[in-house]
C-alpha cells in the first residue's frame, strides 16, 4: 500500500509498495558518502543529499509523465493536441475513456487490416461492448475463375473429371493429361475433341479455360490433349459445365457488439469510421448484435421483430474475440 513519507509528497505518491524514485536515489547517494561524512538525519550533508535526490526524482517523474502523453491510454495534457493531429473531433459528451479509446484506435491504423489489429482497434473504441469480429471463412467464399462461356448446349449434361497427374509443361505448350471421373461410378460420356473445359477452377491463381484437341486411351486410362498456359496439380477438376465469372475477396466481416451498441448511432459511427480507414477498399462489414444476450450466434432477422441493420438475415455462429 502507498504510504506518505518524506519521499512520497504529492506528485510522487503511487499505488505501489515499491520505494519511490526519491527514496531509491537517496539510498544510493547516501551509501556512497556514508563513511567520510556524518549522515545523521538533519545534518547539512544529509540534507544536501536528500535535496539532490528529490530533485532528480522529480525530473524522472516529469520524464515519465511526458512519455505517458504519447500513450493513448494514458495521455491527459496532450489529449486535445493528439486528437487534432489524428483528425478526431470528440463530442462534448464523450468521456475521457471514450476519447482515449478513439485515439488508440486511430493510432492503430498503420497496422493495417490484420485481424488482430482490427480486433484491438474495435476493443479500444467499444470496450466491453465489443464481442467479436467474424470474418468470412474459406468455405463460405466463392472461388474466382474466368469469364462465363457456353461450353456445351444447355440441353447436354456437363462432364466432371479429375486429373490423375500434375500438369507442368514448358508453358505455354500442348500436353496429354490422364483423367478419371469423380466418385466410384465411371462417367457415361468422356471428353471429346472440341470440348471446352475449365481446369482447376477451384484455384483462382491456376484456373484456366482450354480446348480439347485430342483424346486417347493408354492402358485403359483416358487422356486428353490441350494447350496449357498454367501448371496444374494432381487431382485438379476438369469440367465442361457453364463456369460463370464469380469472385469473392472473402472480405465481408461481421462486427458483433452488444444490443445496446448495435443501435447506438454514435457507437456505430465510430466503428464505421475506423473500419473504413483500417480496411482495404474492397472490404465490407455489418455491425450486428447476438441473437440473444450471451448467445454465440447472430440472426436471423424476423419480420416485425428485428432491428434493420443490427440483425443479419441469416444465422451465423461466432466465437468471442480475445
Which tens digit of pLDDT belongs to each residue from 304-316?
Answer: 777 778 888 888 8
Q: Which residue has the cell 470528440?
A: 90
Count other C-beta atoms under 10 Å from residue 123's C-beta.
Answer: 18
pLDDT at 42: 79
Give the tens place of pLDDT for each residue, 246-262. 666 678 899 999 999 99
Number of folded domains in the chain?
A: 4
Are 230 and 179 within one domain?
A: yes
Task: With respect to residue 145, please indicate whether it lies within any of the assigned structural domains.
Answer: no
Sign of the four-CA dihedral 296, 301, 303, 305:
positive
Split at pLDDT 50, 70, 90, the class of 272 is very high
Q: How far is CA 257 from the centre of its chain?
A: 16
Q: Which domain holds residue 173?
A: 160-239
Residue 29 lies in a domain: yes
* Average pLDDT of the residues in 55-75: 89
Where residue 87 falls (left for φ over 0; alpha for ψ -120 to 50; beta otherwise) is left
Dihedral angle over CA of 51, 57, 58, 62, nearest 10: 160
Q: Per residue in 11-28, pLDDT tens? A: 787 777 788 888 888 888
Residue-wise burial string across 15-40, b where 16 or more C-beta atoms lie within 10 A, e elsewhere:
eeeeebbbbebbeebbeeeeeeeeee
Residue 288, in any domain of the structure: yes
Cα(30)–Cα(41) distance, rounded to whole angstroms?
A: 11
Residues 121 and 187 in one domain: no
Q: Which of 8, 120, 5 is nearest to 72 (CA)?
A: 120
pTM over 0.85: no
CATH label of the domain that carries residue 291: 3.30.300
What's the pLDDT band for 188 if we cut at 50, 70, 90? Answer: low
Nearest to 224 by CA among 145, 312, 294, 161: 161
Task: For residue 41, tell me if it sits in a domain.
Answer: yes
Q: Residue 310 and residue 290: Cα distance in Å, rounded?
A: 9
| 12 assigned to some structural domain | no
Q: Cα–Cα distance between 89 and 284 in angstroms, integer?
A: 25
Asked if 288 contacts 295 with a C-beta cutoff of 8 angstroms, the reply is: no
**Co-location of 131 and 165 in the same domain:** no
Amino acid at each position: 500500500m502507498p504510504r506518505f513519507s518524506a519521499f512520497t509528497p504529492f506528485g510522487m505518491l503511487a499505488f505501489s509498495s515499491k520505494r519511490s524514485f526519491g527514496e531509491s536515489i537517496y539510498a544510493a547517494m547516501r551509501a556512497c558518502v556514508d563513511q567520510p561524512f556524518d549522515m545523521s538525519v538533519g545534518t547539512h550533508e544529509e540534507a544536501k543529499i536528500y535535496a539532490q535526490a528529490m530533485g532528480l526524482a522529480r525530473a524522472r517523474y516529469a520524464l515519465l509523465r511526458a512519455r505517458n502523453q504519447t500513450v493513448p491510454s494514458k495521455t491527459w495534457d496532450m489529449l486535445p493536441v493528439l486528437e487534432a493531429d489524428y483528425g478526431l473531433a470528440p463530442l462534448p459528451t464523450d468521456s475521457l475513456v471514450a476519447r482515449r479509446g478513439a485515439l488508440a484506435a486511430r493510432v492503430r491504423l498503420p497496422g493495417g487490416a490484420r485481424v488482430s489489429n482490427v480486433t484491438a482497434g474495435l476493443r479500444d473504441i467499444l470496450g466491453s461492448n465489443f464481442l467479436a469480429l467474424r470474418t468470412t471463412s474459406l468455405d463460405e467464399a466463392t472461388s474466382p475463375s474466368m469469364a462465363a462461356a457456353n461450353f456445351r448446349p444447355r440441353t447436354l449434361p456437363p462432364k466432371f473429371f479429375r486429373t490423375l497427374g500434375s500438369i507442368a509443361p514448358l508453358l505455354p505448350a500442348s500436353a496429354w493429361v490422364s483423367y478419371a471421373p469423380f466418385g466410384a461410378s465411371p462417367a457415361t460420356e468422356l471428353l471429346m475433341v472440341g470440348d471446352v473445359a475449365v481446369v482447376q477452377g477451384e484455384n483462382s491463381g491456376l484456373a484456366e479455360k482450354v480446348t480439347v484437341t485430342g483424346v486417347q486411351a493408354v492402358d485403359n486410362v483416358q487422356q486428353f490433349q490441350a494447350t496449357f498456359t498454367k501448371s496444374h496439380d494432381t487431382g485438379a477438376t476438369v469440367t465442361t459445365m457453364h463456369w460463370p465469372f464469380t469472385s469473392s475477396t472473402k472480405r465481408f466481416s461481421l462486427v458483433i457488439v452488444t444490443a445496446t451498441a448495435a443501435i447506438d448511432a454514435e457507437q456505430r459511427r465510430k466503428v464505421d469510421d475506423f473500419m473504413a480507414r483500417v480496411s482495404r477498399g474492397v472490404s465490407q462489414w455489418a455491425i450486428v448484435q447476438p441473437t440473444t444476450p450471451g448467445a454465440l450466434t447472430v440472426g436471423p432477422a424476423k419480420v416485425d421483430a428485428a432491428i434493420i441493420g443490427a440483425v443479419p438475415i441469416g444465422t451465423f455462429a461466432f466465437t468471442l474475440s480475445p
